[in-house]
Structure 1
Amino acid sequence: MYFVSLFVLFATINGLVLASFEQDGVVSQQPEQVHLSLGSNPSEMVATWTTFNSAGQPIVEYGIKKLDKTAKGQSTEFVDGGSEARSMFIHRVTMKNLVPGQTYIYHVGSEFGWSPIFWFTTIKNGSDWSPRLAIFGDLGNDNAKTLPRLQEDAQSGQFDAIIHVGDFAYNLDTDNARVGDQFMRQIEPIAAYVPYMTAVGNHEQAYNFSNYVNRFSMVDSKTGEINNHFYSYDVGPVHFITFSTEFYFFTNYGRSQLHTQFEWIKNDLIEATKPENRALRPWIVTIGHRAMYCNLHFPNYTECLNRQTNFRKGDSEFPGLEDLFYQYGVDLEIWAHEHLYERLWPIYDEQVYNGSLSEPYTNPGAPVHITTGSAGCYEGIEYNVMEQAEWSAKRIYDYGFSIVTIHNSTHLSFEQLSAEKGHKVVDKFTLIKDNHDSYETRKLTSS
């Protein structure tokens, strides 16, 4: 652990120095904002970082005990849409032929300069293991209450991956994207050590979501291609499907992507629910920013109604998602956007389908929905909510983040930690599924 401590110290000090140099225009080819994401399989890891001038061929040097392997990648110039048209260079390198479940050290850079040395542990191969993931949404630069604990837990190996369910920095594009740079520096002590998986939120919409699209590298496991708006991947016994709720609300950028995404989700679900695939990875979890079920007071209540018509149920112009998720037996749906934590009873079409009165989350008759949007931002906690709806099981109005552990093919546990209570567990439930078929099939079988 001695060399690890030195690396942390060096990374922290060096990161602060580089940030001040970049602002003064002295160092512009030095790597910063380093973060990881999963590749197309457990033997791959993608490293992404930023420089402010072209820095030649991007390189990652890595290895188990020493930096004895090299991978090269590609760079793209990103020009922010703000008034200054600030330019930055985004570098992406995929490390391949990694040993699943193994810890590696690495650094990123080029002939013009190198980052500090970081480390990561690859996810294990196959489905017979128990991943543990941190999940949250709505994390900003200011009032980032959960950030210190996330940094500490990420570097101490508490998580196999982290999922950020939309709304970054507040906002990535603000001050000609300087706020985005600050945010990416702040999450480096997390994201340089643990795969940082993302979903797009409403606060990323500026310039057709360009800051979000350019800064992250989310690989779809089926195609091996990057698509930060919608993609899927496997971790242990769970199949994650991440998609954009924002296509339904920012239609000024067009509507064709709505239908493209819907068909992609449907095809992904068809593939994931083939008997041989569902037997291997029985859990299907969806990740999207705005929750299907919402109960805010005016003026935000109109947004809740819009979610019902054009997002949850759909209409002739908007392909709704609730029926699709119900049809293909999605187990858990995770959302953010509302700055609180809310756990719902198993629900479909506004009706509660608990497994039983005493064990509502044992073999429920519908998906379970969780909203976890209280990681911390300058907008604070969301108190503008109506009386608790019949389908709402639990609400918590303080800052925190969630942890999901997929124990095996039948048991998944979910915890909410409160930053205001010393990260004490303030809510917990276990979802138990003896089978993961379509809810429609189960309803017919039980009748």
Structure 2
Amino acid sequence: NQEKMVALYVLLFGQICVASCVLPIGSQPEQVHLSYPGVKGSMVITWTTLNATESIVEYGLWGGKLFTQSARGNCTTFVDGGSEKRKIYIHRVTLSELIPGFTYVYHCGSEAGWSDVLYFTALIESTSFSPKFALFGDMGNENPQSLARLQKETQVGMYDVILHIGDFAYDMHEDEGRIGDEFMKQIESIAAYVPYMTCPGNHEWAYNFSHYRSRFNMPGQTEGLWYSWNIGSAHIISFSTEVYFYLEYGLDLLFRQYEWLKGDLEEANKPENRAARPWIITMAHRPMYCSNNDHDDCTKFESYVRLGRNDTDPPAPGLEDLFYRQGVDLEFWAHEHTYERLWPVYNYKVFNGSTEEPYMNPRAPVHIITGSAGCREKHDGFIPKPREWSAFRSTDYGYTRMHLINSTHIYLEQVSDDQSGKVIDSLLLIKDVHGPEAWL
């Protein structure tokens, strides 16, 4: 009898476990995020499922009847490069003919499973639009200290766009790509509400940057490695500094990107284009300058990003001269787990507008390094004495805000998460003249 009782318990426990240990439904959408494709009145919605399903977004104007419109897209299979060759399914749907400035409610998925109900505001296309941004780099899914503050601020409508300047998750390929999944779930509470615009960093290197190229959907045809787009009075250029460091993935990428940058800047500098979008802003991961003490590329006068590489055949051109000649106004970087604001600088020399107003009509580009959002590698340190071009620096965790006020004024401030959201640095960049002639 005792043996029968034990067998019955085992049978019952097994049935309970089967009922309560059901695996998550593989058709359920997760990792929802938005991006702006650079096409007027459009927004791209990207998400992931663990099984192949249809790719549908149902949406409608805020305040109206839910889901009166629908759009279909495509699903691609992504295979992680690890030993499991683990598969996920990435869905992309482009919504078009959106009314600029209007808020839309949406969900995504298929009849096999839907996401939560989410919302976004279609970007205003006018050159007089005055957008607000949060920007940062180097945010992991372990110790993402700035994330909670960014989640709340995004959901209450403080930002129109997020710029993530390289280094995601630490690292997306780890645990057969599951760390990438976890990170994308974490940022859904930001990225499902405003366009989440990206560039690659060194932590995306694995399997030739395949996780970055597949998970994010940026403008252009280069899988997000380099692209540009317009918003308000700005032309924003995103590119990869990693082409200077991962030559095993092809030296041709370095030269292709340089030629693209040159062509894109020349187009942006055509008189009619520069008049409409006078600000040219760049974002990329590894800085040209920094006063950190970690021997990174930016600590060296002979920086690859700044001056190029002479050990390649042919020698690879750097970017400082190109950006200076084309009148780039503002350059955002990350990689260093710190915040550093530079005086207007070119070729290691300071070119302030004046002693009293250094950022009023400066005579060189302004650099901001903002890589302190929070990750498992903690903070980086600084050399004890700042360089002459270093205006302000902080090791606090935090992120940067930018308000593109109009064609002559940009306001920037640095938020310290260590100090409960205190603004620890700010600057007002004023330019009456844009383009190479601004340096004269």
**TM-score when scaled to structure 1?**
0.90
Q: Secondary structure at the match of 2:184?
A: helix
C-alpha displacement of 1:306: 6.3
C-alpha displacement of 1:26: 3.5
Aligned equivalents of 2:321, 2:416: Cα separation in 1: 33
Structure 2 counterpart of 1:59: 56
1:186 matched to 2:180? The reply is no
Shift in CA distance, 345/77, structure 1 to aligned 2, threshold 3 Å: same
Shift in CA distance, 24/206, structure 1 to aligned 2, threshold 3 Å: farther
Structure 1 counterpart of 2:365: 367
Q: Secondary structure at the match of 2:217?
A: coil
Structure 2 counterpart of 1:272: 268
Structure 2 counterpart of 1:96: 96
Q: Is the 8 A contact 1:139 1:375 kept in 2?
A: yes
C-alpha displacement of 1:442: 4.2
For structure 2, the 5+ residue unaligned runs are 1-18
Measured against aligned partners, the alpha-carbon deviations of 1:225-283 in whole angstroms (never above 9, x if no partner) come to: 46310000111111100000001001111110111111111111011111101111100
Shift in CA distance, 302/291, structure 1 to aligned 2, threshold 3 Å: closer
Aligned equivalents of 2:80, 2:284: Cα separation in 1: 25
Q: Is the 8 A contact 1:42 1:122 kept in 2?
A: no
Match of 1:419 among 409, 417, 430: 417
Aligned equivalents of 1:307, 1:135: Cα separation in 2: 26
Structure 1 counterpart of 2:73: 73
C-alpha displacement of 1:305: 5.9
Measured against aligned partners, the alpha-carbon deviations of 1:57-111 in whole angstroms (never above 9, x if no partner) come to: 3011111022111111111100000111110000000000000111000010112
Q: Is the 8 A contact 1:295 1:301 kept in 2?
A: no
1:127 matched to 2:123? The reply is no
Measured against aligned partners, the alpha-carbon deviations of 1:328-380 in whole angstroms (never above 9, x if no partner) come to: 10000000000000000000011110000110001111000000000001111
Task: Work out which of the two has the higher radius of gyration on C-alpha atoms and give 1 or 2.
Answer: 2
Q: Is the 8 A contact 2:361 2:438 kept in 1?
A: no
Root-mean-square deviation over aligned CA pairs: 1.6
Shift in CA distance, 83/384, structure 1 to aligned 2, threshold 3 Å: farther
Q: Secondary structure at the match of 2:142?
A: coil
Shift in CA distance, 409/215, structure 1 to aligned 2, threshold 3 Å: same
1:281 matched to 2:277? The reply is yes
Q: Secondary structure at the match of 1:188?
A: helix
Aligned equivalents of 1:355, 1:302: Cα separation in 2: 29
Structure 1 counterpart of 2:12: none
Measured against aligned partners, the alpha-carbon deviations of 1:21-58 in whole angstroms (never above 9, x if no partner) come to: 9x964311111000000022240000000011111x30
Q: How does 1:299-338 map to 2 (within 5 A)?
A: 300-301=294-295, 303-304=297-298, 308-314=302-308, 315=310, 316-338=314-336
Q: How does 1:213-228 map to 2 (within 5 A)?
A: 213-220=213-220, 225=221, 227-228=223-224
Structure 2 counterpart of 1:172: 172
Q: Is the 8 A contact 2:288 2:297 kept in 1?
A: no
Q: How does 1:146-295 map to 2 (within 5 A)?
A: 146-220=146-220, 225=221, 227-295=223-291
Q: Secondary structure at the match of 2:83?
A: coil
Q: Is the 8 A contact 1:342 1:371 kept in 2?
A: yes
Q: Secondary structure at the match of 1:277?
A: helix
Aligned equivalents of 1:342, 1:305: Cα separation in 2: 13
C-alpha displacement of 1:142: 1.2
Q: Secondary structure at the match of 1:36?
A: strand
Match of 1:353 among 351, 354, 360: 351
**TM-score when scaled to structure 2?**
0.91
Q: Percent identity of the aligned residues? A: 52
Aligned equivalents of 1:83, 1:31: Cα separation in 2: 25
Q: Secondary structure at the match of 1:301?
A: coil
**Structure 2 counterpart of 1:271, which letter?**
E
For structure 1, the 5+ residue unaligned runs are 1-20
Q: Is the 8 A contact 1:248 1:310 kept in 2?
A: yes
Shift in CA distance, 84/133, structure 1 to aligned 2, threshold 3 Å: same
**Structure 1 counterpart of 2:412, which letter?**
F
C-alpha displacement of 1:317: 2.1
Query: Paired residues, what number?
Result: 414
**Structure 1 counterpart of 2:372, which letter?**
S
Q: Is the 8 A contact 1:417 1:425 kept in 2?
A: yes
